[in-house]
Amino acid sequence: MPTTNFDVSGIKQSIVGKLQRYYGVTVKTATPQQRYKAAASTVRDQIMQKWMVSREQRAHAQGKRLYYLSVEFLMGRSLNSNLINLCSQDAYQEAFRELDIDPNALMIEEPEPALGNGGLGRLAACFLDSLSSLDIPSMGCTIRYEYGLFRQKIVDGQQVELPDMWLANGNVWEILVAEDICQVHFGGEIREAVVDGRRVFTLENAYTIDAVPYDMPIVGYDTDCVNTLRTWSAHSREGFDLKTFGRGEYDKAMDEMKMAEVINKVLYPEDSHWEGKMLRMKQQYFFVSATLQYALKDFKRQYGGDFDLLPEKVVFHINDTHPGLAIPELIRLLIDQEGLDWEPAQRITHRCVAYTNHTVLQEALERWPQDMMRQTLPRIYMILEELNRRSCEKLFTFYPDQWDRIGQMAILAYGQVHMANLCVALAFSVNGVSQLHGKILTEGLFHDYYMTDPAKFSAITNGITHRRWLLSANPGLTKLLRETIGDGFYRDAQALEKLLPFAEDAAFRQQFDAVKRINKQRLSQLTQRRQGITLDPDFIFDVQAKRLHEYKRQLLNALHIQVLYNRIVEDSGYDAPPRLFLFGAKAAPGYYRAKLIIRYINALAKLIDSHPRASKFLKVVYLENYDVSTAELLMPAADISQQLSTAGKEASGTGNMKFMMNGALTLGTMDGANVEIYEQVGAENIYIFGMRAETVEGMYREGTYNPMAIFETNGEIRRALSQWLDGTLFPDEPMALQDLYHMLLMGDMGGMADAYFVLKDFGSYSMANRRMMEDYQNREIWQKKAIVNVAKSGFFSSDRTIREYNEMIWKIR
């Protein structure tokens, strides 16, 4: 087999050749997009050789394989990550230099696949990187959304959503796999018959959609392993179902085509808020069914029809409940397609499926209307009824006569299909994403299930791939670290601990500081280019970047900035280091309060800019369109990482880890993984404030929280909130924030006032800010703390997380 040599001259030849053959241009006359395509497809060729070998080795080894099912994979750009993992960064850099190509101009031509909202999707992407780097055979499976998460513009201080057409220029990294096209059925009626003494079920008059897989290679760091991200696209059969058409069922033929067209159109932009939308359910079933059909086909090709072997060869991991229909679908395939009886089908399914929970927020728990499920997926609904019957029977022996409790635990109850209950009841493993979250699951949300089978539950703290979030995103720091402690941390992030003694080294601290400064300038180039705003590197870069949600409390940050502004305005002798507040956050388009908070932050930015003295101390910048690529420039530039969620609400958080790894200090609550950052760095290297999770829980139970009392006693809060309504922030529309005001002090639409305890935690937050700013003024102290944060961040590498998943759950090799 001919193999190309990807040394510097091979790379150059390939790029020049592709430009000539694809576009008829030279390196000089090529557009940046053409140069990107030529370089990326050269890298792809290099990967293809490995992919092929990897597949052959796989088939030969006959080992167990992981399918990681997720409605979201927030991949970010691939080119630089692939170069790092192929250990080809230097060769390509040299080739680019010799061809007089600017690598940075080329990289930003790659459209970012935004096939995710936030944490859950980005976690899935980090996991893929670690799975390949740890040589674990796996396939990520999801939907090939034509439009990823919307692009955000800020116009007149408000969010405007634009479509994200990430596929418009084609996708270099994917290949269509025609031989794995399969069919997924919706609607129809179930026919029951007895064949050879066995009850068999067939679906009639269903809508059938083709599922077309596209594969993207996932390269591991310095290994031969290349795994796959498979995205499923929905197509109507041969464009239009001629059989149905031929029978004169024109409407139905049209309907099928339309359904196929919409199923993979868009990614739903709500995270942490669930709605019973039929299309969303269809999306989920569509990719789950296609994935399972493929997995069984692949299994049979290798092992024939001995399905008792399935749990030894295959594990399906479901990323939250969104792919939870994998459970009834696997049972369906084993019974209806493979001819198994119910008992073995259920037993095998149980042993093959593991589930991770990512939220305890009630409004985020999926509950599908039973009628909808029955109509759209009649056979799946039948299976859910049987699963529910058997599961409740079992629960009844554990909780005799406790009907209320069993109703809360049931798969089907109160007219709804309760997806979390389905997953907890049927999966062999249930895990939380941080130690605190795991505890909240077993003591709260899933307590009653926990009592029936404690061994099933675990907590595995999330992680991030240090290859993207340090090596790729922060080349300056990476270079410095490499010169200081060697390159052991490339492979093993725990080796970052070697940095600890260098916190005491003044020369090192100075270099560390210089890197941060360059990173601030890099970020400034982005804001300059995108928003026409220059960032002053002499300011502290204080960042809150994450989806916009009330529980994440961007409002607490903003309110505090407003209080600082008032202090400056009132005190002509005010002095403090200048501080830049950066916000990056998309709001779900239908989330009214979140959008109001965006308006508030932007109005605040304007107010401060217009005050000559205040703007010497404070600046607020709202970063447009926060996405993975923005995060890669943002994290390395940050001094402060704001992690303000109401304790008990943020399952883990992963942005917190990215900031830490890049030397930012955390200002945060004892929530999610912040608790573990605290444990890693120690109390003196983090700024903790606010109520603990148990206290918050207690306050909810008591129901006596009264934010109005705080408003009445705290003059600074009263002043700030009054300015919300007196035209200070919105001279032309003084009542713009009225609803936020009501929500904080009175509660609206039946909700409790200040449900996330913004005012309650304000005092403690303000004190933590003071402590932090005092420390910042001593450069030596601050830099030591920042260095300790980097040194202790190795624990949060997703390599550690994936090792733990594999040891405790998947048990592959």
Which residues have a catalytic role annotated?
358, 546-547, 552, 654, 658
Residue 191's closest CA among 181, 178, 182, 200?
Answer: 200
Task: Output the smallest distance, CB 355 to ligand 26Q, in A.
Answer: 13
Q: Which of 119, 188, 438, 463 binds ligand 26Q (CB under 6 A)?
A: 119
The residues in 260-289 that bind ligand 26Q, with binding defined as CB under 6 A, are 268, 270-272, 274, 280
Task: Output the smallest distance, CB 284 to ligand 26Q, in A.
Answer: 8
Task: Output the smallest distance, CB 117 to ligand 26Q, in A.
Answer: 5
Stretch that binds ligand 26Q, among 117-125, 439-447, 554-562, 677-685 (CB under 6 A): 117-125
Q: Which is nearer to ligand 26Q, 233 or 359 (CB)?
A: 359
Q: Which is nearer to ligand 26Q, 76 or 118 (CB)?
A: 118
Single-letter residue type at 25: V
Stretch that binds ligand 26Q, among 56-64, 112-120, 140-148, 797-805 (CB under 6 A): 112-120
Non-local (6+) Cβ contacts of 475 within 8 A are none
For residues 376 and 282, what is the distance between their CA atoms, to the nearest angstrom? 8
Single-letter residue type at 134: L
Task: Decide if residue 418 touches ligand 26Q (CB under 6 A).
Answer: no
For residues 106 and 102, what is the distance between their CA atoms, to the nearest angstrom? 6
How many residues form the binding site for ligand 26Q (CB under 6 A)? 24
Task: Output the smallest distance, CB 419 to ligand 26Q, in A.
Answer: 9
For residues 633 and 745, what is the distance between their CA atoms, to the nearest angstrom? 38
End-to-end CA distance of the chain: 30
Q: Which is nearer to ligand 26Q, 110 or 550 (CB)?
A: 550
- The binding track of 121-160 with respect to ligand 26Q, each residue x by CB under 6 A or -, is --x-------------------------------------
The residues in 297-326 that bind ligand 26Q, with binding defined as CB under 6 A, are 322
The residues in 344-383 that bind ligand 26Q, with binding defined as CB under 6 A, are 358-359, 364, 366
* CB 291 within 8 Å of CB 141: yes
For residues 409 and 421, what is the distance between their CA atoms, to the nearest angstrom? 6
Residues in the chain: 813
For residues 225 and 135, what is the distance between their CA atoms, to the nearest angstrom? 6
Task: Output the smallest distance, CB 532 to ligand 26Q, in A.
Answer: 31
Task: Output the smallest distance, CB 322 to ligand 26Q, in A.
Answer: 6
Q: Which is nearer to ligand 26Q, 557 or 654 (CB)?
A: 654
Q: Using the 8-state DSSP alphabet, how is residue 86 labeled?
A: T
Residue 439's closest CA among 694, 658, 698?
Answer: 694
The residues in 628-657 that bind ligand 26Q, with binding defined as CB under 6 A, are 650-654
User: Which string of DSSP letters, residue by residue, matches 91-123?
Assistant: HHHHHHHHTT--HHHHHTTSPP--B--SHHHHH
Sign of CA dihedral 443, 446, 447, 453: negative
For residues 126 and 218, what is the distance between their CA atoms, to the nearest angstrom? 11
Long-range contacts of 18-21 (CB under 8 A, 24+ apart): 18/42
Stretch that binds ligand 26Q, among 89-97, 119-127, 443-451, 736-744 (CB under 6 A): 119-127
Q: Would you state the torsion angle of the CA atoms of residues 426, 427, 433, 437, taken in this order, to the nearest 10 degrees?
A: 30
Q: Which of 38, 120, 259, 791 binds ligand 26Q (CB under 6 A)?
A: 120
The residues in 463-522 that bind ligand 26Q, with binding defined as CB under 6 A, are none
* CB 578 within 8 Å of CB 618: yes
DSSP reduced 3-state for 714: coil
Q: Which of 80, 82, 117, 472 binds ligand 26Q (CB under 6 A)?
A: 117
Q: Which is nearer to ligand 26Q, 36 or 805 (CB)?
A: 805
For residues 343 and 321, what is the distance between their CA atoms, to the nearest angstrom? 23
Q: Which is nearer to ligand 26Q, 329 or 676 (CB)?
A: 676
Q: Which is nearer to ligand 26Q, 312 or 443 (CB)?
A: 443
Task: Output the smallest distance, CB 417 to ligand 26Q, in A.
Answer: 13
Q: Which is nearer to ligand 26Q, 125 or 259 (CB)?
A: 125
Q: Which of 462, 474, 662, 793 binds ligand 26Q (CB under 6 A)?
A: 462
For residues 85 and 318, what is the distance between their CA atoms, to the nearest angstrom? 26
How many angstroms separate the most distant Cα atoms in the chain? 92
Q: Which is nearer to ligand 26Q, 497 or 679 (CB)?
A: 679
Task: Output the smallest distance, CB 505 to ligand 26Q, in A.
Answer: 34
Non-local (6+) Cβ contacts of 330 within 8 A are 292, 316, 345, 348, 349, 352, 353
* CB 581 within 8 Å of CB 621: yes
Q: Which is nearer to ligand 26Q, 366 or 550 (CB)?
A: 366
Chain residue at closest Cβ approach to ligand 26Q: 119
Task: Output the smallest distance, CB 118 to ligand 26Q, in A.
Answer: 5
Task: Give the H/E segment covering residue 153.
Answer: strand 151-155
What are the φ and ψ backbone dihedral angles of 599, each rounded to 5 degrees?
Answer: -60, -40
Task: Decide if residue 672 touches ligand 26Q (CB under 6 A).
Answer: yes
Write out the residues near ligand 26Q by the rule CB under 6 A.
117-120, 123, 268, 270-272, 274, 280, 322, 358-359, 364, 366, 433, 462, 650-654, 672
